[in-house]
Structures are given as C-alpha cells and as structure tokens.
Amino acid sequence: MSQSDLEESLSFVPKFDAAGLIPCIVSDAVSKTVLMFAYMNAESLELTLKTGEAHYWSRSRQSLWHKGATSGYVQRVVEMRTDCDQDCLWILVDVAAQGKGAAACHTGRKSCFYREVTMGDSGPVLTFKDSERLFDPKDVYSS
Amino acid sequence: MSQSDLEESLSFVPKFDAAGLIPCIVSDAVSKTVLMFAYMNAESLELTLKTGEAHYWSRSRQSLWHKGATSGYVQRVVEMRTDCDQDCLWILVDVAAQGKGAAACHTGRKSCFYREVTMGDSGPVLTFKDSERLFDPKDVYSS
C-alpha cells in the first residue's frame, strides 16, 4: 500500500512494530484528558473492537490485559481513531459513569499523567498536578 | 531508582527506549484533542524544554525535527507532563493563536487522527472524521 493510500484510504491496516505492538493513547471521552498510554497487539485490538472494552498487551507481564479486570473499572470505548500513517491508535473511553473511583492509573489516580515537567535552575523538575488519589492501590491490587 | 520512587518522586528521569527515544503525545492545549504522536530523543526533549517549542526526533528521516520549521506552524508548549513510570510524555501545545492554517498533520489536517475505526460486517473499517484540510501539502512542502 502506497503512502498516499495509507493516509487517504478507508482500509484499516494498523502497523504493528517489530514486537507486534501498536501504541495506543487513551483519553477521557468527555474532557479529552489523556488518561494513560499503552500498547495493543493484534489480539487485544480485535478484542477491544469486538467487546467495546479496552484490552491491551502488558509489556511488563507479557500477557493480554483486559483493563479493569482487577479493579472493576473497565474502559468502555466510545471512539477509536487511527493516525495518518496508521502506526498509532487513539481511543476515547467513558469512565464518567463509574463515578469517583474510576482511576486509569495503577497508583490510584484518574490519569497516569499526574506530574508536570518544567525547567528548573539546574535542569528539568517535576511538580504534582491533578494528583489526587481516587483509591489506595493496596486496597485494590492486594491479592 | 525504585518503582515507588519513580512514581512518587519529583525527580525527572525520563526512560528512553533501546533506540534512545521516548514517545510523546501532543494535544491542543485548549480542546485537548490529540493532534499527533511522535518521539523525542534526549536532545529534542532538552531543546523543547529550553526553547518552549516542540522538537522531536524523526524516525523516518533520522534527524532532529523542529516542528513547524518548514510550515511555519511551530508548536508552543503550554505544559509538559510525564506518566507514572516516566516512559511517556504528554505535551499541550498552543496552536489557536496561529489561526485556521495551523495543522499538526503533514496531510494538512489539524490532527493526524482524522479517521475513526469501527467494526464493520467483515472487519474493522475507517471513516473520515474532522478531516477537513487546512492547507494543501503541495503548497507547503514543495521545495
């Protein structure tokens, strides 16, 4: 498929990397805040499209990951998009209906992006931002 | 640095991959729509922080990429965030001031994510969405 076809056609030909993965940006469907960033393989992408619930590939555990299977906070996919060269996905998920406890981050925060990077006097530094914990990870993930 | 330190400290220790790159999600600072997805190396990250304008590493051209150097539409970084395990960046850029022509995508669209993925009868299909062209790539990138 030519570059032009890839960009302008309506054929979905996701480009997986050498490890068989495609990056996936996950935003809150309402606020569009980025909640997390993960990877999908062909199987998790297919399951996401078929079930309407986000599935990823966990690189650390090397296994299929149905987001929310442990915490209960599954991510209902409202919309999925792909980019111009089809090597990245962006999904918009509905978490509002799950109430206050619906945290995308395993640290218990709504979003994984809870720290801002700014330039300090001696290099970049972090500052907490929107870092309120919605749950205590120990309560959710202890076995 | 322990996992807990990585997640809860205010030390910025971006985790570059084997190729020396870190993925970067780029959103419109106002609407939070994802405009594009790119990679930074240590140099482009430093330049972004120092100049306040987004710099990336172009994997296709294998070179430093000052976004907007060709089109004129530079991306002023309003905010940069990192995620829990510091292996992804999210930047919010101000493009509103540049008016209607400010397209993040080389195809001339505001966002690279101009096609929706849905499940059709015989597999996933794409549909154009928010795909209006703000400029003709031929006018901007011809040499």
- Segment B26-42 mean pLDDT: 97
The residues, ordered by sequence, that sit 6+ positions from B95 with a Cβ below 8 Å of its Cβ are B28, B29, B35, B73, B75, B76, B102, B104, B110
**pLDDT at position A143 over 60:** no
Mutate to test the interface with A, among B4, B34, B89, B111 (most CBs of A within 10 A): B34
pLDDT score, position A142: 62
Residues of B with CB under 8 A from a CB of A: 7-12, 23, 25, 27, 31-34, 36-37, 49-50, 79-84, 88-90, 105-107, 109, 112-119, 123-129
pLDDT score, position B98: 73
Pick the CATH number of A3-102 from 3.40.30.10, 3.10.20.810, 3.40.50.720, 1.20.210.10: 3.10.20.810
Q: Which two tokens stand for residue B83?
A: 């995620």
Q: How confident is the model at residue A20 (pLDDT cuts 50, 70, 90)?
A: very high
| Domain assignments of chain B as residue spans, ordered by start | 3-102
pTM: 0.95
- Chain B CB contacts of A32 under 8 Å are 27, 31-34
Which DSSP string do the residues of A72-137 spell out, in sequence order?
S---EEEEEEE-TTSS-EEEEEE-GGG-TT--SSTTSBS-S--EEEEEETTEEEEEE-S--BSS-H
**pLDDT at position B88 over 80:** yes
Q: What is the residue-averaged pLDDT of chain B?
A: 93
How far the first Cα of chain B sits from its last, in Å, is 48
> Between chain A and chain B, how many beta carbons pairs sit less than 8 Å apart?
122
Question: Is residue A35 within 8 Å of residue A110, measured between CB atoms?
Answer: yes
Q: How confident is the model at residue B142 (pLDDT cuts 50, 70, 90)?
A: low
What residue in B sits closest to A119 (Cα-Cα)?
B49
pLDDT tens column, A86-98: 999 999 999 876 7
* CB-nearest partner of B116 from A81, A106, A124: A81
CB atoms within 10 A of CB B132: 11
